[in-house]
Chain A
Amino acid sequence: MIRRPLLDVSDVVVRYGPVVAVDGATLSVGDGELVALIGPNGAGKTSLFNAIAGVLRPEEGSVRLDGEPLDGLPPHIRARRGLARTFQGGRLFSRMTLRENLEVAHYERGRSGLASGCLGGPLARRDRHRDRRLAGSVLEAMDLADFADLPCASLPFGMQRRAEVARALCLEPRILLLDEPSAGLDPAESAALAATIVRLRDTTGLAVLLIEHDMTFVMNISDYIYVLDFGVSLAEGTPQQVRSDPAVVAAYLGVDVVA
């Protein structure tokens, strides 16, 4: 099968001083694919993720979205091109309500500017109407409607993770980058979130790249898995292939393959 890559990451190298965090990682995500990037702690997953999002600049390698190079572009421009991300620690606007968070996320998709906003002109009103409609439908789709008018700081932790995915969706992205979405969730919440992500992909055809520490979370839902260890691609393939790969097992369980 030839996969048409939407996101194409090739030979990315990230160094922090003498430490090589990512050493020539290559991966690609096709349209509507759910791809996972896994690896043990310190494998370089988050560094690679940040290089894709544009938060840090890789020394080598390139990142392409639908054939167009993103190299050198700042994170907010990448976001406007359709690359939405969530944060491991969560970066919700905690004093604003969930609905407001979602509406802000759609801001850059509108066409009205500052002047129109200050005057309250028709363009700004139309855009605001669109923001609200989209936020409303995403809230429904993510089962968050009951929490919409609460300040984010007061949401339970599990809801905040879900809220962050919802906010990223309001950017109307082409690909969704999720940084350890299940971190800190209990098994039930984690399973619910996994189900939501799969449903999203199935209903909207959105491409998803998720970083996970937790193998069980990704095994059931991913189409394709990349395994990273010490900054190097260790293995890749379908969940079946990866699960039975001795190098992966060794990396995760700390067993020496040869022995």
Chain B
Amino acid sequence: MEMVRLAVAGLPAGGMYALAALGIVLIYRATGTINFAQGAVATASAFVFDLAWTEHDLPVLVAALAALAVAFAFGLALERLARAIGHGNVLAQVIATLGVQGVILAGCERIFGQEARVVPTYFPSGSINVAGVFISYDQLAVIVAAAALSATVGLALTRTGLGTSVRAVSQNRLAASLAGLPVQRIEGISWAAGTVLAGLAGILLAPLLFLDTYRLSVFFLVKPLAAAVVGGLVSLPLAFGAGITIGVAEGVLSRYTALPGLTETVPFVMMLAALLVRRSFRSELSPAPLSKNPAIRPGTGRFWPGVTALCAMVAVVPALSPAQTVTLRLTISFTLLALSLVVLTGWVGQVSLAQGAFFGLGAFMAATLGNRAGLPFGVVLVAAPVCVVPFAVIVGLPAVRFRGLLLAVVTLAFGSLCSASLFEWKTFTGGLDGSHLPSPSLFGVDLSGDRYTFVCLAVGGLVFAGARNLARFRCGGPLFGVRESEDGAQALGIGVTATKLIAFGISGAIAGLGGTLFGYTTGFVSGAQFTPVLSATIFAVTVVAGVESLWGAVLAGAIFTVPSGETVQLLASIAVIVVLVFLPGGLTEARRRFIRPAIRRRGADVVSAGETPVERQDEVVMAPAPR
């Protein structure tokens, strides 16, 4: 009986996951893009609703309409953004939705403040008794609304002309436009409908939850995404069923309170199971690389700028104020975090939204090994990153079968699992109290103060040089080959599976090393520092700085460390979007355009030769033909 009660208690949440999942599926079906801002839109709607209803005493319906209008506006804005980036560049579109998420969340914090709010319920209190299980009216309303809305969306897609058009656009955009369908309008409608569904989920569930910007946005993103993935991102009934199942399973598991975050494993496990059972996904799930420009091989640049920069840093350290010293150390930690993405995403083409979790794992491993196990700093510096490697390899396993967006979703789910479960585990992380790290020392030599900054610089420099060698020397070839064409790499004897897993391992170790340095810098780590939002933000920032370049990682580390406060975050998120629209290859590619234009020019000559009159084309083609 207890089980049934808990299961029923999970139903409303399940209904909301299902609604938000329908929104994701709708947008994906029409446009081939996953909207990572879905959770943020739901959160914003809930806040607007709360503002209008509780603070301004507007009627419930008016407040709800106002909140939905906001969600609708976000949908239209997202559609314009996706159009500006261009159809076909799905990965950039997805990162842009991450940027929009950043804008919405920072905006919410700025407007509504950081404290969690409680929204009073707008349904009459009371409950009905179904065979001994009491269901309150608001729970019932949420369940009924979810079922009714899902049925409506399902019917609209299959039974109306508009629904048929949406399906046509999703199956073949070009053919749909050739058949005279207003493709852009249909995509716009899908975006708006998708975000309105998220908004509805936010409003309906608001009275059952605390309003807390970051928790809520993750809550409304990861679980609906998991449900959508179970439905293969295309099936509405499956996504709906999966959403409900996740809610119910969470309800049932919530009785086992001894294991923190056990409920949070549900979406991740369901998603993984679905991915392993399912045979194939639509081809858009392996999107084209961000940049189509010729890749300049990383590490082929000159060596002295790096050495000069490092020497300059070393020289400057004694003159820095304590606050500036901390900033420098943090910059190095976050540079390593960004560098882990350069290796994994920039070089091998595997999207990961779990890097923040690896970073956090590194920090907690350092705390565990350095504080509780009492190992010396030198050992921890090596052992903590090594301990992260197995986690990274396991997260990389789905990459063996799935690429691109799907991998982004799986890694996001892993990151959220870590932050909700592993990082809350008291024996490992100290739970809410966090963990302390000792002051670093090596062979009896105290390494606090400037000495620790030198250690950070040395470690950062070594990793930079190692990664540079990795790209420069032979091993870079297989990495880039796997990014460019898996079939091609395989035909050359390169083990694609092994390459990907090794890349995940290396990347996890680098991120873990960054986390270790971070831990010793702050001396205190707690789970709240390593949320999925950290992963999403560092991903967006690294892409903007230049995800294929080591200097991009340095730039990303600096960009990521310096801003603090919502205003700066807001501006940074806007910058992400602007850069994606105008410079898809990131800031470092812009630098290359001006500093090393020779390769581009020579490349352009041949391309234009292919397009100009036939005589010239023949000339180019025939010139080197054998006698």
Residues of A within 8 A of B (CB): 53, 55, 74-77, 79-80, 84-87, 91-97, 100, 103-105, 107-108, 110, 112, 114, 116-120, 124-125, 127-128, 131, 143-147, 149-151, 153-156, 158-159, 167-168, 171, 188-189, 192, 195-196, 199
Contacts and interface: CB of A to CB of B under 8 A. Distances in A.
B287 to A, nearest CB: 15
Nearest to B463: A118
Given A93-B485, A117-B469, A192-B626, A107 B293 contact: no
A196 B627 CA distance: 9
B20 to A, nearest CB: 37
Given A153-B294, A195-B626, 12 more contacts: A80-B493, A92-B488, A107-B478, A117-B470, A118-B467, A118-B470, A118-B475, A124-B473, A143-B624, A150-B603, A154-B603, A156-B610
Given A91-B485, A117-B469, A156 B621 contact: yes
15 contacts: A55-B487, A84-B492, A92-B484, A93-B480, A117-B475, A120-B472, A124-B474, A131-B474, A151-B599, A168-B492, A189-B621, A189-B625, A192-B625, A195-B626, A196-B626
B620 interface: yes
A79 B492 contact: yes
Task: Enumerate the 10 nearest inter-chain pairs by beta-carbon distance, A residue then B residue, closest first.
Answer: A91-B488, A151-B294, A93-B484, A104-B477, A79-B493, A117-B475, A108-B493, A192-B625, A80-B493, A95-B295
A92 B470 CA distance: 22
B346 to A, nearest CB: 12
A119 B474 contact: no
Contact of B481 (A104, A150, A153, A155): A104
B623 A146 contact: yes
B626 A114 contact: no
Given A75-B490, A119-B466, A155 B606 contact: yes
B401 interface: no
A158 B472 CA distance: 30
B362 interface: no
Given A104-B492, A117-B469, A156-B621, A87 B294 contact: no
A127 B624 contact: no
A84 B609 CA distance: 31
B607 to A, nearest CB: 5
Interface in B287-341: 289, 291-295, 297
A231 B625 CA distance: 36
A53 to B, nearest CB: 7
B626 A118 contact: no
Contact of A105 (B297, B492, B602, B626): B492
Contact of A103 (B477, B484, B620): B477
Contacts of B606: 147, 150, 154-156
B494 interface: yes
What is the size category of the interface that chain B forms with chain A?
A: 35 or more
B502 interface: yes
B473 A144 contact: no
A156 B474 contact: no
A92 B491 contact: no
B474 A95 contact: no
Nearest to B484: A93
B294 A95 contact: yes
Contacts of A77: 493
B607 A154 contact: yes
Contacts of A150: 602-603, 606
Interface string B379-415: 0000000000000000000000000000000000000
B131 interface: no
A80 B490 CA distance: 10
A158 B621 CA distance: 7
Given A93-B488, A95-B295, A97-B294, A171 B474 contact: no
B468 to A, nearest CB: 9
Contacts of B481: 93, 96, 104
Contacts of A103: 474, 477
B617 interface: yes
A249 to B, nearest CB: 32
Nearest to A143: B624
Nearest to B603: A154
Contacts of B373: none
B496 interface: yes
B495 interface: yes
Given A156-B617, A189-B621, A192-B625, A104 B480 contact: yes
A149 B596 CA distance: 14
Nearest to A158: B621
Nearest to A103: B477
Contacts of A195: 626
A95 B603 CA distance: 11
Contact of A96 (B466, B484, B491, B604): B484
Contacts of A196: 626
Interface string B488-511: 111111111000001000000000
A96 B602 contact: no
A77 to B, nearest CB: 8
Given A107-B492, A128-B473, A156 B620 contact: yes
Contacts of B609: 156
Contact of A188 (B293, B475, B478, B622): B622
A86 B623 CA distance: 23
A156 B343 CA distance: 31
A150 B489 CA distance: 19
Nearest to A145: B624
A125 B475 CA distance: 11
B445 to A, nearest CB: 26
Given A95-B292, A150-B603, A156-B610, A117 B474 contact: yes
Contact of A95 (B293, B470, B477, B607): B293
Contacts of A96: 294-295, 297, 480-481, 484
B487 A87 contact: yes
Nearest to B462: A118
Most chain A CB inside 10 Å of its own CB: which residue of B490, B603, B617: B490
Most chain A CB inside 10 Å of its own CB: which residue of B295, B478, B623, B626: B626
